Amino acid sequence: MGMDWNKLVSSRRLGREQDAGRPDARSEFLKDWDRIVYSSAFRRMQDKTQVFPLSDSDYVRTRLTHSIEVSSVGRSLGMLCGEFILQQPGAPDILPQDFGSIVAASCLAHDLGNPPFGHSGEDAIQSWFRDGGARYLDGLSQAEQADLRDFEGNAQGFRLITRLQNALDRGGFQLTYAVLSTFLKYPRGSVLADANGRLISEKKFNFFQHDAPTFERVASETGLIRKSNGSCARHPLAFLMEAADDICYGVVDLEDGHRVGRVSFREVEALLMPIAFDGAGSTSESYTQVHDNTGRVEYLRARAIGVLIHAVVEAFKTHYAALMAGTFESSLVDRCAFAPQLRAIAELSRAQIYSTPAVLQIEAAGFEILGGLLAKFVPALVQEPALRSSAHRKIVQIVPAQFAAGATRYQRLLGATDYVSGMTDSFALTLFRRLNGIEMPGSGF
């Protein structure tokens, strides 16, 4: 028995299940998009690394611009697939644009849990708890220890949107269950019996043990299929959120790489031309009229994204039965007509964009910065208040109260990672310098 769209698109809200809300021209899913846009967590992404940490360029993308672009692609994917879904048996009584709004909102939130300095920030937090901070995990359950040793930005994102963005702990943003369920790329916890790393839904995890009850509510409300090992199958629309991210990572990072001089125009043209012109072997008149290389790259990027959107929609239609049965375990871009071209782009990006000396140097510094911050905050927060040293008390006073209020050691450790992972790149660097006496606050601080 497959999943039911009437449950998958639930417009009930976490923490406000009995409140139907005030009806207006906006759908409940579009309201979710608005809630995320106006949040402080979303604004902080303007100073969080996408590819180039602490970039001096005002052109290359941050997490904020990346998330907006992914949301735009996700909206198109959702609407186009929504038209197809509404033609199938058991279709819900909503509009194609409602599917678009669900995917767009989940895309907008997909990177909210990422710590400073990109994915190396996740590695830095993991490394600290596996090495210097390992002793603070004594006495925690296996799952609680794994939450910290294997710290995961996707799980932090789920925690943020369902808990941290509301001081009263009443469901965070109080988003609809449909959007929350679509957000779950990896519907499992940090410890999973018989985890299969080859399955795309089990490669990582999407909730910490502290947030397991919330995950259960989301999975139950939207009718996600339960697997025998304790995980769930993905929401079908989660594959569209992932595809939107994959498209933007592939094509847009290549554009940024060209803009900062890491990839030549000829390399970009050779990679994007077969996608942008769908293997036709010829270009359009509009393309030949663009005379500067920067403009040509922008043209190819825009056209390639449009072609890839329709290719992913076709892959969604082809694998629809498996998606609804919860047995599909691949990314849609890997099953679309341009998978070989996207793999070639990924290979070049790894070699010439993601592994440049400047990027690697700043990522290495990020290890020192985040590890250094955790080394300051964790010992102070886990210590019982009566036993804290004078230095520890000063550190605790620096930490916002919401991150220092945990009732158990595990919750206080999560408070430390909540605080550090929510920082921007610049704030983390500045705070590290100040706590280590490298610089002092100005007189107006």
In contact, 6 and 90? CB cutoff 8 Å: yes
Q: Say which residues have a Cβ less than 8 Å from residue 397's Cβ, sequence separation at least 6.
A: none
Helices (H) then strands (E): counts for the chain:
20, 0
- pLDDT value at residue 136: 96
- Cα distances (angstroms) measured from residue 381 to each of 122, 231, 389, 409: 20, 32, 11, 8
Residue 60 has pLDDT above 70, yes or no: no
Q: Are 65 and 50 in contact (CB under 8 A)?
A: yes
Largest CA distance in the chain: 75
Alpha carbon distance 327, 24 (integer Å) = 38
State the amino acid at position 345 in one-letter form.
I
Where do runs of H (alpha helix) occur along 160-282? 177-183, 212-222, 238-259, 265-276
Q: Can you tell me the mean pLDDT for 255-271? A: 91
Closest of 312, 272, 281, 125 to residue 264, by C-alpha: 272
d(CA 427, CA 74): 30
Contact status, residue 152 vs residue 421, Cβ threshold 8 Å: no
Q: Provide the pLDDT for residue 167.
A: 62
Give φ, ψ of 176 to 5 degrees.
-70, 155
Helix (H, G, I), strand (E, B) or coil at 318: helix
Question: What pLDDT score was predicted for residue 166?
Answer: 75
User: What would the mean pLDDT of 398-424 be, rounded to a whole number?
Assistant: 94
**Contact assessment for residue 377 and residue 395, using Cβ atoms and an 8 Å cutoff:** yes
pLDDT value at position 57?
54
Quick one: pLDDT at residue 280? 66
User: Looking at residue 212, what is its pLDDT?
Assistant: 97
Asked if the model's pLDDT at residue 330 lies above 70, the reply is: yes
Task: Say which amino acid occupies 98.
Answer: D
Give the model's pLDDT for residue 411: 96
* pLDDT given for residue 96 in this prediction: 97
Could you tell me the pTM of the whole model?
0.93
Residue with tokens 């001096």: 56
| Half-sphere exposure (Cβ direction) of 297: Cα atoms closer than 13 Å | 20
The dihedral over CA atoms of 98, 319, 216, 8, expressed in degrees to the nearest 10, equals 30
- In this predicted structure, what is the pLDDT of residue 213? 96
- Cβ proximity of 323 and 312 under 8 Å: no
Q: What is the mean pLDDT of residues 100-116?
A: 96
Which of helix, strand or coil describes residue 306?
helix
Is 80 exceeded by the pLDDT of residue 403?
yes
Across the range 321-346, mean pLDDT stands at 96
The average confidence (pLDDT) of the chain is 91
pLDDT at 281 over 90: no
Any idea which residue has 């594959």 for tokens? 239
- The mean pLDDT value for 252-272 works out to 91
pLDDT tens digits for range 367-382 = 899 999 999 999 999 9
Lowest-pLDDT choice from 5-9, 342-346, 388-392? 388-392
Least confident of 10-19, 172-181, 370-379, 417-426: 10-19
Q: What's residue 243's pLDDT?
A: 98
Is the pLDDT at 421 greater than 90, yes or no?
A: yes
Q: How many CB atoms lie within 10 A of CB 153?
A: 21
Q: What is the pLDDT of residue 50?
A: 61
| Position with higher pLDDT, 439 vs 189 | 189
Tell me the average pLDDT across 219-229. 95
pLDDT > 70 in the chain, percent: 94
Q: What's the pLDDT band for 259 if we cut at 50, 70, 90?
A: confident
Of 23-27, 202-206, 374-378, 417-421, which gets the smallest average pLDDT? Answer: 23-27
Residue 442 pLDDT > 70: no
**Phi/psi of residue 186, each to 5°?**
-130, 80
pLDDT in tens, 162-179: 999 876 678 999 999 999
Q: What is d(CA 421, CA 432) in angstroms, rounded to the nearest whole number?
A: 14
